[in-house]
Amino acid sequence: MKSSCRLIADLAGIILLMTGTGCSTFNSEWEKAAATPAPANDFVGRWDGLWLSDKNGHHGRLRCLVAKLDDHHYRARYRATWWKIFRFGYAVTMQVEKSDNVFTFEGEADLGWLAGGVYHYDGQATPTNFFSTYKSKYDHGTFRMKRPE
């Protein structure tokens, strides 16, 4: 009995952290990035759209801030919503190759056991459209985003 109560308390704490952690930092950086116009030849900056699980149909809003680390590495900071009330943020460092104005990328992030473990991302972006697949041991789906208006 004691261990099941502890598990419930741990899960409640994790859910509370997932719904609040990093939100204000992401939101303030999101607003700050709005002052910088999206570049015509890169995919850095703000993205807004949806994520969709192909496994179970879960979906929600997805926002992303992309920053260039060097010529072949970018960092994507995601902020996802599901069931309209839960929020989860995380970052992925991506290996990026550019051909013309298309950026092909892949990356991996360990989101912890509660969120499904290690996720692998493959996608393409142009200065105006962002598409990625994601896969983990328990889930797979897509991200579709555009520049916010």
Chain Cα centroid distance, residue 78: 3
Q: Which residue has the higher pLDDT, 138 or 12?
A: 138
What is the pLDDT of the chain when averaged over all its residues?
87
What is the structure's pLDDT at 84?
A: 79
pTM: 0.82
How far from 125 is each of 21, 66, 119, 133, CA to CA, in Å?
Answer: 28, 11, 19, 12
141 alpha carbon, distance to own chain's centre: 12
pLDDT at 21 (0 to 100): 45
Q: What tens digit of pLDDT does each residue of 76-110 get?
A: 999 999 887 888 899 999 999 999 999 999 999 99
- Average pLDDT, integer, range 19-25: 56
The whole-number pLDDT of residue 23 equals: 59
Q: Is the pLDDT of residue 26 over 50?
A: yes
Terminal-to-terminal C-alpha distance of the chain: 52
Q: What is the CATH number of domain 2-146?
A: 2.40.128
- What number of residues does the chain have? 149
Greatest alpha-carbon pair distance for the chain in Å reads 61
- Give the pLDDT score at 95: 98
Domain extents for the chain?
2-146
pLDDT at position 98, please? 96
